[in-house]
Structure 1
Amino acid sequence: MGTEARDRLLAAGLAVGLLAVYGSRWTAAIVIVAGCVSLLWRRRFPLFVLAAIGSALVIGVGWRLEWADPLLFLGWIALYGAPAFAKTRHAAYAGAAVALGTAGVITLITRDAAGRGRDGLVIGLVFVLAYVATAWLLGHGYRVRQAYLTALEDRAERLAREREAMSRQAVAEERARIARELHDMLAHTMSGMVVLAGGARLATGQEDTARALAEIERSGRRGMDETRRLLTALRAGDAESPPTLADLPALVARLSAAGLTVKVSTIPDLPPAVDVAAYRIVQEALTNTLRHAGNATAAVVIRLDSGVVELAITDNGSGSSQGLGHGIAGMRERARLLGGELRAGPEPGGWAVRATLPLEAR
């Protein structure tokens, strides 16, 4: 139920209840209905509503009119709304000042109602302070709680935006690293193609075949030049060759020295691009295990099946926070670019990363 609907329900309930008790005279009925309707604006104009009901209450008490009593209930609700819905803290305190001033005037008017002289004044002041304090403190508590909830929502939204931005950055960094690694593999393949085409052109004696091979050679050289020009910038400060599964034993040794026990199955021969991607996925998964699961035991299974390589990296740690990082996004992007897929998440007994990579482009 929205705030406007709750306000209408409150105003209607108060009107029915107060009319049933105090609405025997038409003047009282009019004042009660008008006061309840004014409460519909207490969220947008809390001080105005408080001042209006307070002024009516002073007039009713001063002239001893029959509709003064129901205004005490409406005035308390209006006083609650001043600190609860005021735009600023100063406005909330202004509402308390208005309420105290109004209540003080009423106390002076009615000081003889509970006794004579000073005793009646003391009793009236105690009632006024209790009346104002309860309404204002409850309204202030509501304001503080709403401010706290708003701050939590803003913080959650900001963290979600930051997390999304960091995830996109992780994917972009992974793509850049893939491009750097691709440079070596692509350059090697195209260089071999150009050399073979040049050798075949020199060896053949047929003019048409020689022209075709010469065009293949020229196209290959152009492709190499364009690839080198586009990707060389990505290799700035990165002269190392991309790692493959052949480097996995060295990675396992480093992780074992850091406290992670790793068991690796047989490592098959894979095409260069798949080989590099498989190593990067295993590397990131094991690094996450070391970071989040501590001194756990991990198992790496690499298996060829029907034209795809299946990777399974599992551990027996808790791994409850592995999903909070951005390494999974990078692994998933690397698998996706090869036409594969990757799943990561908790499994009975620990955490698992499972990926399938096709051996040939799809």
Structure 2
Amino acid sequence: MRSTPAPPRSRAAGARPAASAADRFSPGACRAHARAGLGRPAPPGPARSRLRSALPALLTDVFIVAALVVLNSSLVELARTVPTMAQLWGEFAAGHVGGALLALTMLARRRLPFTVLLVLTLGGLVGDHAHVLVWGSASLGIAVAAYSVGRYLPLTRALIALGTGVAVNVLATTLSPAQAGDPGEPWWINQGFYLGWILAAWWVGRLVRMRAFHMEELATRAERLERARDAHTRAVLAEERGRIARELHDVVAHHVSVMTVQATAGRRVIDRSPERARQTLVEIEETGRQAMAEMRRIVDVLRTTEADAPDRGPQPGLAGLAELVQQVRDTGTRTELRVVGDPPELSPGLELTLYRIVQESLTNVLKHAGRGARAAVEVRFTPESVEVAVTDEGAPPGAEGEPAGAPRATDEPGHGLVGMRERVALYGGDLVTGPRAGGGFEVRARLPLDRRGQG
């Protein structure tokens, strides 16, 4: 049962008119939606991100402050109950306040570690002379400050701060009334205690700093490797796109050129020789089928994984040159094929390169010299290299095409010549193209027979 849509509600008197699309998506409207809590929440800004990253460090420092305050206050209360300590540290209220103030310096230990170290050392010395017990905060605070000096300062400044801190602590311990009040205790006990305390904390800070730098270096190196891998992937994809473009250009350009010449011939003879025109249409159909079959083969090769490599169709090679030349002959272009020397066993890639060079060169003959031109293909094998040459004499007089000696569009590098140069360069060969002295055009390529080319 179909439900009846509810009638539209009438707009109340005085209601604002509906906003246009531009008004609804204006910056002011977007901000209003954000304030109203509509849509997804906005990502945290830089200030919020910095606060979030600094929060763990701040909580750590607050915990250290609280621990030092509790420790110092406990020592002050303990001194109140021991007569000998009460005689030495009589200012108990000042001990609570002074210990808390020295503990608060921990909040600045990351930005001013050396200053905090000096303040704690001198604060402990002043407390000794004023009979105020603050060493609960000062002693452990000095260790934390020494750690911070090693952790947050560069090596030179950290060494200077360490030396200065040790000297001040030795002086403070020597001048301490507590040391003078107990002449039976050897002076070097307190000295050795504080010296070892500071050096150990400083060295732990250096180790943590070096580890942090090492982890940062590893992260940076991983980021560089990731960027290099992305760049390599893009380069491989670009090379693959170029290879696909060359293959498609070679296949499509050749067969379309053949079909164009055949269609032109059929148009000319359709009135006086219908049978010949019909035969030309059959040849055009066959050429189109060959083009489609070769393009399907290229697509199949691109889709095939390495595991399926043995099932791939054969690539065009030297064995297909005779058929290629015959296709050009069928268009009315007199073409000769000559092979000099005994062909060695070549790699499929090198054979494909030779085939594509001849195919592209004959395609240019069909496009620029036209029907009735004369062309020659020569493949010469030597022990060191294989040479291929494709020459033509230009368009014959009265034929459609560019006259002999006229500049061709291929004199400027296009897709075909660029593809040939890239193929030849891949095997370390040389390519020479240009007009001939007596008219026409020539393409000559020389490919060395090395390990990449043979076998």
Band the TM-score falls in, shorter-chain normalisation: 0.5 to 0.7
Checking the alignment, whether the CA contact within 8 Å between 1:58 and 1:105 is kept in structure 2 is: no
Tell me the CA shift for residue 114 of structure 1.
Answer: 5.6
Tell me the CA shift for residue 171 of structure 1.
Answer: 0.9
Q: Measure, in 2, the Cα distance between the counterparts of 1:281 and 1:115.
A: 92
Distance of aligned partners of 1:17 and 1:302 in 2 relative to their CA distance in 1, 3 Å threshold: farther
Equivalent position to 1:91, from 157, 172, 175: 157
Distance of aligned partners of 1:173 and 1:155 in 2 relative to their CA distance in 1, 3 Å threshold: same
Paired position in structure 2 for 1:148: 214
Equivalent position to 1:19, from 57, 73, 77: 73
Paired position in structure 2 for 1:223: none
Paired position in structure 1 for 2:58: 4
Q: Measure, in 1, the Cα distance between the counterparts of 2:123 and 2:169.
A: 12
Residue 301 (structure 2) pairs with residue 279 (structure 1): yes
Q: Where in structure 2 are there 5+ consecutive unaligned residues?
A: 1-54, 81-91, 273-290, 313-455
Equivalent position to 1:161, from 227, 230, 244: 227
Higher relative contact order (CA 8 A, sep 6+): 1
Residue 146 (structure 2) pairs with residue 59 (structure 1): no
Tell me the CA shift for residue 198 of structure 1.
Answer: 0.9
Tell me the CA shift for residue 146 of structure 1.
Answer: 1.0
Q: Which deviations, in whole Å up to 9, do the C-alpha atoms of 1:113-150 show, x marking residues without a partner?
A: 6644xx72222332132212221111111111111111
Equivalent position to 1:44, from 88, 100, 111: 111
> 3-state SS of the aligned residue for 1:2?
helix
> 3-state SS of the aligned residue for 1:271?
helix
Distance of aligned partners of 1:30 and 1:179 in 2 relative to their CA distance in 1, 3 Å threshold: same
Paired position in structure 2 for 1:195: 261
Amino acid across the alignment from 2:110: R
Q: Measure, in 2, the Cα distance between the counterparts of 1:300 and 1:133.
A: 67
Checking the alignment, whether the CA contact within 8 Å between 1:112 and 1:120 is kept in structure 2 is: no
Tell me the CA shift for residue 205 of structure 1.
Answer: 4.7
Paired position in structure 2 for 1:109: 175
Checking the alignment, whether the CA contact within 8 Å between 2:110 and 2:152 is kept in structure 1 is: yes
Q: Which has the larger radius of gyration?
A: 2
Residue 176 (structure 2) pairs with residue 122 (structure 1): no
Q: Where in structure 1 are there 5+ consecutive unaligned residues?
A: 207-268, 287-297, 304-362
Amino acid across the alignment from 1:276: I
Amino acid across the alignment from 2:213: A
Once superposed, what is the RMSD of the aligned Cα atoms? 3.1
Checking the alignment, whether the CA contact within 8 Å between 1:36 and 1:74 is kept in structure 2 is: yes
Checking the alignment, whether the CA contact within 8 Å between 2:149 and 2:205 is kept in structure 1 is: yes
Q: Measure, in 2, the Cα distance between the counterparts of 1:19 and 1:273.
A: 88
Checking the alignment, whether the CA contact within 8 Å between 1:28 and 1:67 is kept in structure 2 is: yes
Paired position in structure 2 for 1:311: none
Amino acid across the alignment from 1:184: D
Q: Measure, in 2, the Cα distance between the counterparts of 1:109 and 1:272.
A: 97
Checking the alignment, whether the CA contact within 8 Å between 1:22 and 1:70 is kept in structure 2 is: no
> 3-state SS of the aligned residue for 2:268?
helix
- Residue identity over aligned pairs, in percent, reads 24
Distance of aligned partners of 1:299 and 1:74 in 2 relative to their CA distance in 1, 3 Å threshold: same
Checking the alignment, whether the CA contact within 8 Å between 1:62 and 1:106 is kept in structure 2 is: no
How many residue pairs match? The answer is 226
Checking the alignment, whether the CA contact within 8 Å between 2:99 and 2:136 is kept in structure 1 is: no
Residue 139 (structure 2) pairs with residue 72 (structure 1): yes
Checking the alignment, whether the CA contact within 8 Å between 2:150 and 2:205 is kept in structure 1 is: yes
Tell me the CA shift for residue 299 of structure 1.
Answer: 5.7
Distance of aligned partners of 1:67 and 1:148 in 2 relative to their CA distance in 1, 3 Å threshold: same
Distance of aligned partners of 1:89 and 1:201 in 2 relative to their CA distance in 1, 3 Å threshold: same
Q: Measure, in 2, the Cα distance between the counterparts of 1:21 and 1:58.
A: 17
Q: Measure, in 1, the Cα distance between the counterparts of 2:103 and 2:137.
A: 10
Amino acid across the alignment from 1:71: A
Amino acid across the alignment from 1:279: V
Q: Measure, in 2, the Cα distance between the counterparts of 1:114 and 1:149.
A: 49
> 3-state SS of the aligned residue for 1:276?
helix
Q: Measure, in 1, the Cα distance between the counterparts of 2:167 and 2:124.
A: 12
Amino acid across the alignment from 2:257: S
Tell me the CA shift for residue 32 of structure 1.
Answer: 2.5
TM-score of the superposition, structure 2-length normalised? 0.44
Checking the alignment, whether the CA contact within 8 Å between 1:41 and 1:49 is kept in structure 2 is: yes
